[in-house]
Amino acid sequence: MTAPIDATSTSAWAELTAHHSSFSPDLRGWFAADAGRVERMSLPLGDLHVDLSKNLVTDEILASLVKLAEQTGVADRYAAMLAGEHINTTEDRAVLHTALRRPADAEPHLVVDGQDIDADVQEVLGKVAAFAERVRTGEWKGVTGKTVTHVVNIGIGGSDLGPVMIYEALKPYATAGIEARFVSNIDPTDIAQKTADLDPETTLFIVASKTFTTLETLTNARLARDWLWESLSAVGAIAGDEASEADAVAHHFVAVSTALDRVAAFGINTDNAFGFWDWVGGRYSVNSAIGLSLAISLGPDVFGDLLAGFHTVDEHVRTTPLEKNVPVLMGLLNVWYGNFLGSQSHAVLPYAQQLNRFPAYLQQLTMESNGKSVRWDGTPVTTDTGEVFWGEPGTNGQHAFYQLIHQGTHLIPADFIALANPAYPLEDGGQDVHALFLANFLAQTKALAFGKTAEEVEAEGTTGALVAARTFTGNKPTTSIFAPALTPQVLGQLIGLYEHITFTQGVIWGINSFDQWGVELGKQLALQIAPAIEGDDAALAGQDASTQALIAYYKANRT
Ligand code: F6P
């Protein structure tokens, strides 16, 4: 195992520490003094135009950050990942989500641990596309001979967040008349509400689980199966016997998993199961068969274009010098803000209603990846890691939490994402509503960067204590990510960008961004506590006083 390089012991870190000791951000001054700043700091990434100029960095600081990436071996680590080295050290696995979007004709084939990765990926992709076409053309029929109108993806975490986010984002491409729904929460409300108005004869469930052991997903899959049987029986579509129930499952359930034996044990025919591999992390799995709901609802071509968008970014990261490498630079900026300027959270603010689930998707990607206290060799981290990612689509966020970003005491770097063309061009009495929308994006990034001085406030006639209240310090850092439109390629590029930002930060901190041991303890305890709630006195006695009291409250109030 290659030992992580301690970023804090590099000369680049020392340089950054020195920059910080005399640091006094001045975006107004920097813009006034440097006519080339915007052009120099605006970079292309596939179809994306990324403007870094409103970040709190000088050229010198950026150069030191790039040096930090060099000295911590970001490029080498990336090459190791692409080559299939087992950089997921705690699980002794390769990390090859990038292989899921290699072009079909990629040569030479990527062979890792004796597996022809390219051949296997293409085989499953072909199977996914063929199945999606069968459903879309109506060749695939439910147990009563009806075609599918709804696919319901049952999964959680990486087996849910990517598909639901992308479906929301690319809904205008869902033209085949098949609606996708997503059930994730074990709260029975989720499945009850999502199935309430569905016709069982035209519904296809996809049980998506990498491990096929996840409590939430298997519970929801059983509830869905019960719903299917009961509602088909209720309309006389099936008899209540075992054979017709099995037939109903065969026509209305498919699965996506790395554990096909468990799929079979659940009663799903493995002919209708789509595999993937342990070298695909859950939160990096939307390019795998986990995207089946997307291939069905949006079409295999759209899914292919999405993969191509991801691949564009993979190639950019692989071939672009660090000083022009957009994901690397954005990762480095996050390190600057988190490790030197003390910020603890990062807002992602899409000016695109279609991206309303993008912040939630990024929360798993970034926080499950980089919320770690030990490095990939088991030693403690040497600096803070993993900021909190959060956000909401603009302009909703403006009327909720932007106050704190503008005038609060915490430094919150923010990424603004905008599209030149809307999915739905509408006018309000001659006013292009999208232009008005984008005016807000531009206004917010401008206000955050340049603020409003007390003199400017006074010049408007404000006096006394109100002057301070109406003053904006500015120097609130933002990155603007602009694209022509939310096409499948653009969305793939956007997601790929954040995957590689996350990767860059992980390497600099020396952590394994591909395991998630931190979610295990709660899962184990839930299994121990469940019997205590259900009346097992011994299990109850084993709980701490607070948990016992909360269980007592539950029992007293549960009707
Ligand atoms: O929450 C932990 C986790 O393991 C995630 O990493 C994963 O995406 C999710 O659970 C779902 O896991 P699975 O796909 O195996 O059901």
Which of 95, 156, 362 has the most ligand 1 atoms within 8 A of CB, as the residue to mutate? 156
Atom of ligand 1 nearest to the CA of 368: 6
Among 109, 324, 399, 446, the one annotated catalytic: 399
The tokens for 121 are 């990926």
Task: For residue 282, report the distance from its CA to the centre of ligand 1, in Å.
Answer: 6
* Side chain identity, residue 153: N
Query: Which protein residue's CA is at the shortest distance from atom 9 of ligand 1?
Result: 157
Catalytic residue among 109, 324, 446, 523: 523
Residue 29: what residue type?
A: G
Q: Whose CA is nearest to atom 3 of ligand 1?
A: 157
Q: Is 179 a catalytic residue?
A: no
Residues having CB within 6 Å of any atom of ligand 1: 156-159, 209-211, 214, 217, 282-283, 368, 516, 519
**Residue owning tokens 């990498």:** 210
**What is the DSSP track for 429-488?**
TTEEHHHHHHHHHHHHHHHHHH-B-HHHHHHTT--THHHHHT-B-----EEEEEES---H
- Ligand 1 centroid vs 192 CA: distance in angstroms? 22
Q: What is the dihedral of CA 474, 328, 3, 71, to 10 degrees?
A: -80
Q: Which atom of ligand 1 is least distant from the CA of 282?
A: 8
**What whole-number distance in Å separates Cα of residue 46 and Cα of residue 450?**
29
- Report the candidate in 381, 338, 518, 384 with the shortest Cα–Cα distance to residue 4: 381
Confidence (pLDDT) at 2: 86
pLDDT for res 54: 98
The whole-angstrom distance between residue 549's C-alpha and the CA centroid of its chain comes to 37
Residues in contact with 193: Cβ distance below 8 Å, sequence separation at least 6, in sequence order: none
List Cα–Cα distances, 384 to 111, 242, 506, in angstroms. Answer: 36, 56, 11
By most ligand atoms within 8 Å of CB, the mutation choice from 210, 263, 277, 519 for ligand 1 is: 210
| Tokens 């696995």, residue located | 93
> From the CA of 208, how far away is ligand 1's center (Å)?
10
- CA–centroid distance, 521 to ligand 1, in Å, is 14
Residue nearest to atom 10 of ligand 1 (CA): 157
Atom of ligand 1 nearest to the CA of 516: 6
Q: CA Rg, the chain, in Å?
A: 26
Is 452 among the catalytic positions? no
Reduced 3-state DSSP string for 209-225: CCCCCCHHHHHHHHHHH
399 is catalytic: yes
**Residue 342, pLDDT score:** 97
Q: Are 490 and 312 in contact (CB under 8 A)?
A: no
Could you give the CA distance from residue 384 to residue 151 in angstroms, rounded to a whole number? 42
What is the mean pLDDT, run by run of 10 residues, along the chain of 559 residues? 94 98 97 98 98 98 98 98 98 98 97 98 98 98 98 98 98 97 98 98 98 96 98 93 95 96 92 96 98 98 98 98 98 98 98 98 98 98 98 96 98 98 96 97 98 98 98 98 98 98 98 97 94 96 97 96
Task: Return the pLDDT at 1.
Answer: 82
pLDDT score at 240: 84
